[in-house]
Amino acid sequence: MEAQLSLEFLRVVETAAIAAARTMGFGDGHKADEITVEAMRKTMDSVQMDGTIVIGEGERDEAPMLYIGEKVGLATHAPKALFPQVDIAVDPLEGTNLCATGAPNAIVVLAASERGGLLHAPDLYMEKIVVGPSCKGAVDLDAPVATNLKAIAKRLDRDVEDLVVIVLDRPRHEKLIADIRAAGARIRLIGDGDLSAGISAAVIGTGVHAVMGTGGAPEGVLTAAALRCLNGEIVAQLVVSKPEHEEREAGLTYVPLDQLLRESDFVSLHSPLTRETRHQIGARELRLMKKTAFIVNTARGAIVDEAALVAALTKKQIAGAGLDVFEHEPKIDKALTKMPNVVLTPHLGSATPEVREAMANIVVDNILALLGGHKLPNCVNPQVFAL
């Protein structure tokens, strides 16, 4: 079955590539991409598989087809048939601008695996180093550029001055380019197509020995799939520099509190207790929750208006509660102790080996910072240092 699917996937990318070729040089990158996507999608539906797009043209509301989560293959027309389940990553036309301008190296890309075999990479930047088979295990993202280049040169039995490194020509790579040149290696700057560049680094005779820099995370996954076939290596990490990046990385969506309360089946509280968060959950907020919803508080008791919570539970406005903290500790409202839909614990939510070890590490970090004359990484009253 794997051999059969390999040939079918080859047919998919060949059909898409031929469609893309007919748009080459017309200067319309959007049209080239659109025609390629349509050809790939149509051909893909003739393949005997139960396919899911895990990396594609974007989210469902951003792309008409080949969007993330879209089901493809004959299983979409015969849901009761037992076709193999396949995860698929695609870049229907990598190097859209190259195709539009008639330049070389635009390619159609498809990677496939068993269900769960491909990273569902968010649409973020990814820092990457790509090397060939001889240099597997030689590079480290945390190492200086010069150190990595020396390691590559040693594995290839040549001088650093003989290395050629591909880097995307982007302003964000200004320092990287300077570091590579300072180390003595040569650079081949490219405007597009870091996936093609990654493949060239793993193939002997291309004159390329590594790819360095920051590019798209979805392209990084496709590059990793190609390098697995070529016995090369990519080391990479997501670049998370903004709160919205953390949101994408975790697969979460931030929503207003009222919306969260209306839509959630479980509301778990983890806020610090401040003037703003005291009684953050009161009678109004509890009325917004589903009657089938549960609230869990392992943060600070006064974040919840306990009297309002008792009233909501008594009136069955919500289904139940789990409380590890209480508004008037150590006193607990007796009504809570008698409710069958309430679970109470004596403020021990953090009592796991992992959490206690982390807490100890925080204390040690603070002590070391203070002894070294540095700012404390975790300080509840930083104003004392201003005195």
From CA 202, how far away is CA 308, in angstroms rounded?
64
Q: 220-243, pLDDT tens digit by residue?
A: 999 999 999 999 999 999 887 666
Q: What is the pLDDT of residue 224?
A: 94
- Considering the domain architecture, whether residues 22 and 51 belong to the same structural domain is answered as yes
- Which residues, including other chains, have CB under 8 Å from residue 374's CB and lie 6 or more apart? none
pTM of the predicted model, to two decimals? 0.66
Q: What is the mean pLDDT of residues 161-166?
A: 97
Q: 294-353, pLDDT tens digit by residue?
A: 999 999 999 999 999 999 999 999 999 999 999 999 899 999 999 999 999 998 888 889
- Considering the domain architecture, whether residues 240 and 301 belong to the same structural domain is answered as no
**More confident call, 293 vs 381:** 293
Q: 35-87, pLDDT tens digit by residue?
A: 999 999 999 999 999 999 999 887 765 678 888 889 999 998 887 788 999 99
- Amino acid sitting at position 248: R
Q: Which of 335, 339, 344 is nearest to 297 (CA)?
A: 344
Q: What is the pLDDT of residue 245?
A: 62
Q: How far is CA 256 from the centre of its chain?
A: 23
- Considering the domain architecture, whether residues 90 and 63 belong to the same structural domain is answered as yes
Domain-ending residue, one of 219, 245, 271: 245
- Considering the domain architecture, whether residues 132 and 196 belong to the same structural domain is answered as yes
Query: For position 31, which CATH number holds?
Result: 3.30.540.10
Q: What is the mean pLDDT of residues 98-112?
A: 92
Q: What is the pLDDT of residue 105?
A: 85
Q: 212-222, pLDDT tens digit by residue?
A: 999 988 899 99
- Does residue 102 carry a pLDDT above 90? yes
Query: For position 277, which CATH number holds?
Result: 3.40.50.720
- Domain membership flag for residue 42: yes
Categorize the per-residue pLDDT at 374 as very low, low, confident or very high, splitting at 50, 70 and 90: confident
Instruction: Give the tokens for residue 214.
Output: 């920051």
- Domain membership flag for residue 252: no
Q: What is the pLDDT of residue 32?
A: 94
Q: What is the pLDDT of residue 244?
A: 67
Q: What is the pLDDT of residue 184?
A: 96
- Domain membership flag for residue 101: yes
- Domain membership flag for residue 250: no
- Which residues, including other chains, have CB under 8 Å from residue 126's CB and lie 6 or more apart? 214, 215, 216, 217, 219, 220, 236, 237, 238, 239
Domain-ending residue, one of 195, 219, 245: 245
Q: What is the pLDDT of residue 257?
A: 92
Instruction: Give the tokens for residue 203.
Output: 């193939």
CB 348 within 8 A of CB 326: no
Q: 245-301, pLDDT tens digit by residue?
A: 667 666 677 788 999 999 999 999 998 899 999 999 999 999 999 999 999 999 999
- Considering the domain architecture, whether residues 22 and 75 belong to the same structural domain is answered as yes
- Considering the domain architecture, whether residues 190 and 277 belong to the same structural domain is answered as no
Q: What is the pLDDT of residue 250?
A: 67
Q: What is the pLDDT of residue 372?
A: 87
The per-residue pLDDT of the chain, averaged, comes to 91
- Considering the domain architecture, whether residues 267 and 315 belong to the same structural domain is answered as yes
Domain hosting 76: range is 2-114
Alpha-helical regions (H) of the chain: 2-21, 29-44, 96-101, 145-156, 174-183, 194-201, 217-230, 243-250, 257-263, 283-288, 306-314, 334-337, 353-371
At CB < 8 A and 24+ separation, what contacts does 133-136 make?
133/202, 133/230, 133/231, 133/232, 133/233, 135/209, 135/210, 135/233, 136/231, 136/232, 136/233
Instruction: Give the tokens for residue 320.
Output: 């139940």
- Considering the domain architecture, whether residues 230 and 281 belong to the same structural domain is answered as no
Q: What is the pLDDT of residue 191?
A: 87
Lowest-confidence segment of 54-68, 129-143, 147-161, 299-313 by average pLDDT: 54-68
- Domain membership flag for residue 177: yes
- Considering the domain architecture, whether residues 135 and 233 belong to the same structural domain is answered as yes
Query: For position 224, which CATH number holds?
Result: 3.40.190.90
- Considering the domain architecture, whether residues 239 and 280 belong to the same structural domain is answered as no
- Does residue 16 carry a pLDDT above 60? yes
CB 219 within 8 A of CB 124: no
Instruction: Give the tokens for residue 18.
Output: 């031929």
How many structural domains are present in the chain?
4
- Domain membership flag for residue 251: no
Q: What is the mean pLDDT of residues 173-180?
A: 96
Residue given tokens 């600070």 in the structure block: 300
Q: What is the pLDDT of residue 101?
A: 93
- The half-sphere exposure of 33 on its side-chain side, counting CA atoms within 13 A, is 17
- Domain membership flag for residue 72: yes
CB 51 within 8 A of CB 9: no
- Domain membership flag for residue 142: yes
- Considering the domain architecture, whether residues 104 and 184 belong to the same structural domain is answered as no
- Considering the domain architecture, whether residues 39 and 133 belong to the same structural domain is answered as no
